[in-house]
């Protein structure tokens, strides 16, 4: 049971080890883009590519769906970024339980957005946890974990790829022992728990009165979605890649001033409440991503202008 790109390596790890997958459950197709094109979940596409059956219920609640699941007689249900609540009837159905591949080192960052949350907090490492699911949100006992470092170059997209691979590898290592009941899950320490929240499009707007370090983390945490943005001349300017710089400037002011040791004309910076954010890649509304210095050369008046503080 999975939906997003994070779930695909988990599915492929099961296939690589020749486990019999009786059914792939995923969310329903959605509409996206200007033309409202139908978009299939990544897990569905991976399943169909491997000739696996797919089921896409809107909910797992209700007798008919549960009865169908019972008819499959699963030994274990693997869950990874599925997005639907599993009712008690489903949790209690397989003799070896429902096990979840979660992209954080639980009990840290329970909830829906653990990868952005780890970047926003400035963590140097995160990881994947395989746990036995219970009725709570990511509260089940831990079966196994693996740490994954977070580099300064990581954003939510690249970190998701790293964690997904780690999750697939860890699951493949674990399953033989789990199927033979050789592993005893360990309860989480609820006193150490932290929670991530649902992220909305509005979260991407930059408040230039905040510090450069925090804004830099936000740019990385919210790429590719919802993206970080500000406004210039009434249009949205997305900040795709940036880095914090050591000097000071008036919050919101756009300047052309490179860091010490770098050539003149090599960096566009924006003053913040603490330090300067160096802009590397930006995208103006209706345009393509480009180096910030190139954008500045093509838009007279950009240098010296001010972004709204929030």
Q: What are the tens digits of pLDDT across the range 220-251?
A: 999 999 999 999 999 999 999 999 998 899 99
pLDDT class for 308, splitting at 50, 70, 90? very high
Residues 9, 102, single domain; the answer is yes
* Residue 272 CB-density burial (10 A; 0-12 exposed, 13-18 middle, 19+ buried): buried
Q: Which domain holds residue 163?
A: 5-192
**With contact defined as beta carbons under 8 Å apart, do 257 and 267 qualify?**
yes
Q: Say what the pLDDT of residue 63 is.
A: 85
Q: How does the average pLDDT of the chain come out, rounded?
A: 94
Same domain, 81 and 165: yes
pLDDT in tens, 78-88: 999 999 999 99
State the pLDDT at residue 151: 97
Q: How confident is the model at residue 31 (pLDDT cuts 50, 70, 90)?
A: confident
Last residue of a domain, one of 192, 212, 241: 192
Residues 186 and 220 occupy one common structural domain: no
Identify the pLDDT of residue 201: 93
pLDDT value of residue 228: 97
Position 265 pLDDT exceeds 70: no
Residues 89 and 225 in one domain: no
Q: What is the spatial distance between Cα 286 and Cα 157, in angstroms, rounded to a whole number?
A: 22
Identify whether 145 is part of a domain. yes
| Shared domain check, 177 and 244 | no
Domain check: are 175 and 217 in the same one? Answer: no
Three-state secondary structure call for residue 106: coil
- Alpha carbon distances (Å) from 137 to 27, 113, 173: 19, 12, 25
Structure confidence by residue, pLDDT tens digits, 186-220: 999 999 999 999 999 999 999 999 999 999 999 99
Residues 206 and 180 in one domain: no
* Domains: count for the chain: 2
Q: Say how far apart CA 80 and CA 231 lie, in whole Å.
A: 37
């Amino acid at each position: 049971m999975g939906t997003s790109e994070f779930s695909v390596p988990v599915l492929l790890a099961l296939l690589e080890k020749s486990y019999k997958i009786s059914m792939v459950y995923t969310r329903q197709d959605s509409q996206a883009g200007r033309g409202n094109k139908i978009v299939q979940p990544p897990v569905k596409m991976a399943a169909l590519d491997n000739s696996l059956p797919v089921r896409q219920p809107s909910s797992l609640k209700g007798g008919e769906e549960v009865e169908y699941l019972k008819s499959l007689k699963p030994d274990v249900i693997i869950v990874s970024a599925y997005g639907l609540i599993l009712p008690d009837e489903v949790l209690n159905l397989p003799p070896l339980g429902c096990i979840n591949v979660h992209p954080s080192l639980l009990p840290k960052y329970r909830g829906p957005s653990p990868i952005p949350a780890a970047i926003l907090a400035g963590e140097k490492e995160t990881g994947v946890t395989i746990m036995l699911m219970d009725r709570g949100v990511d509260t089940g006992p831990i079966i196994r974990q693996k740490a994954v470092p977070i580099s300064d170059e990581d954003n939510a997209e690249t970190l998701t790829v790293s964690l997904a691979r780690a999750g697939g590898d860890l699951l493949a290592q674990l399953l033989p022992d789990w199927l033979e009941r050789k592993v005893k899950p360990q309860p989480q320490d609820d006193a150490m728990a932290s929670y991530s929240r649902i992220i909305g499009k509005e979260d991407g707007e930059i408040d230039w009165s905040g510090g450069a370090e925090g804004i830099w983390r936000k740019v990385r945490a919210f790429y590719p979605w919802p993206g970080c943005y500000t406004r210039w001349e009434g249009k949205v300017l997305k900040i795709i890649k940036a880095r914090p710089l050591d000097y000071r400037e008036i919050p919101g002011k756009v300047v052309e001033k490179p860091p010490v040791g770098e050539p003149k004309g090599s960096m566009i910076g924006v003053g913040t409440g603490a330090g300067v954010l160096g802009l590397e890649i930006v995208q103006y509304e209706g345009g393509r991503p480009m180096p910030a210095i190139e954008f500045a050369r093509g838009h007279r008046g950009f240098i010296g202008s001010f972004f709204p503080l929030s």
